[in-house]
């Protein structure tokens, strides 16, 4: 059973960056069978794909976030992580870690096989 656990800062000031880490259990992020994504949901809005990282370290970012987002992976800890820059109160959202079969369409939320519980990040002014 694959499980994802997100951890993040909770409450943050507007700041240059914040980081969110996803810990995966039940599957190795280095095997290449799955791709791993960060997805967020703003209050009252739908799910928004931010980016995906795969086992060889290659990354794909949403154009909406590409200029201020960085994904990384730590295979020794079976974790992947997001750094989001130029953070403002408009980045207040529930952030989700998610896993999808490598051959599926990463932009389709319904195709995701595994979801973390969501990590609420509130940026206050």
Give the mean pLDDT per block of 10 residues along the chain (125 residues).
93 86 96 94 96 93 95 96 94 97 90 96 90
Q: Within a 13 Å sphere around the CA of 11, how many CA atoms are in the beta-carbon half?
A: 2
Short-list 12, 41, 74, 117, CA closest to 49: 41
Note the pLDDT of residue 64. 94
Distances (CA, A) of 102 to 34, 56, 99: 5, 12, 9
Question: What's the pLDDT score for residue 55?
Answer: 87
Residue 9: its pLDDT value, please?
Answer: 87
In the prediction, which pLDDT does 125 show? 80
């Amino acid at each position: 059973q694959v499980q994802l656990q997100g951890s993040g800062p909770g409450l943050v000031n507007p700041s240059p960056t914040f980081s969110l880490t996803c810990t995966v259990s039940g599957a190795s992020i280095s095997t290449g069978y799955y791709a791993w994504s960060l997805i967020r949901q703003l209050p009252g809005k739908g799910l928004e794909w931010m980016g995906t990282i795969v086992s060889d370290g290659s990354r794909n970012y949403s154009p909406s976030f590409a200029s201020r987002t960085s994904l990384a992976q730590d295979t020794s800890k079976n974790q992947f992580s997001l750094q989001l820059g130029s953070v403002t109160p408009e980045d207040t959202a529930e952030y989700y870690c998610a896993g999808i079969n490598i051959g599926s369409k990463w932009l389709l939320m319904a195709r995701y096989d595994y979801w973390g519980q969501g990590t609420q990040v509130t940026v206050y002014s």
